[in-house]
Amino acid sequence: MTNQKRILIVEDNVISGVLLQEVLKELGYINVSLAKNGKEAIELFSDKLDLIFMDINLPDSNGIELSKIFHNIYRHKDVPIICYSTDYLRYEKECIAAGIVDYLPKPLSHKKLKQILECWLPRRKPRAIRSSRSTCT
């Protein structure tokens, strides 16, 4: 079964980005784009996105700042941005302030990914992280 939700992955590590993209496609999400840096991400930002996975440490920019840019450009506070990084806990307060709503740790956890998709894609939720260690609880 395919899903028409539009997902953007912002990840400079090609292996990590392609792995997430392929797992999403295996789960039926066929509209998945991959940006390898901040410049590509800005070009792919759209108010038609349903979900964004954002790495925090990019070679040409900062995922936290990119999240702020996305919200300032499109003013769509209901597009969930999920931190996809090993560094989330170190930057948790900044992520929350930038409107990042959840966290997908590296290495990729299929179970956590499915929880995030079930939580954030069926409907749009208010932009608030309840806990850095849980998904939509």
Q: Is 134 among the domain residues?
A: no
Give residue 45's domain range: 3-120
Query: What is the CATH number for 98?
Result: 3.40.50.2300
- For the whole model, what pTM was predicted? 0.87
Q: Is 129 among the domain residues?
A: no
pLDDT tens figures, 110-126: 999 999 999 998 754 44
Nearest one of 132, 63, 137 to 104, comparing CA atoms: 132
Q: Mean pLDDT throughout 46-75?
A: 87
- What integer pLDDT is reported at residue 117 of this predicted model? 94
Q: Is 81 among the domain residues?
A: yes
Q: Is 135 among the domain residues?
A: no
Q: Is 50 among the domain residues?
A: yes
Strands 51-54 and 81-85: parallel
- What integer pLDDT is reported at residue 135 of this predicted model? 63
Alpha carbon dihedral 113, 14, 128, 67, in 10-degree steps, equals -160
Q: Is 74 among the domain residues?
A: yes
- What integer pLDDT is reported at residue 72 of this predicted model? 82
Cα distance between residue 127 and residue 95, in whole Å: 12
Tell me how many domains the chain contains: 1
Query: Which contiguous run of DSSP H or E holds residue 52?
Result: strand 51-54
- What integer pLDDT is reported at residue 126 of this predicted model? 46
Helix%, strand%, coil% for the chain, nearest 5: 40, 25, 40
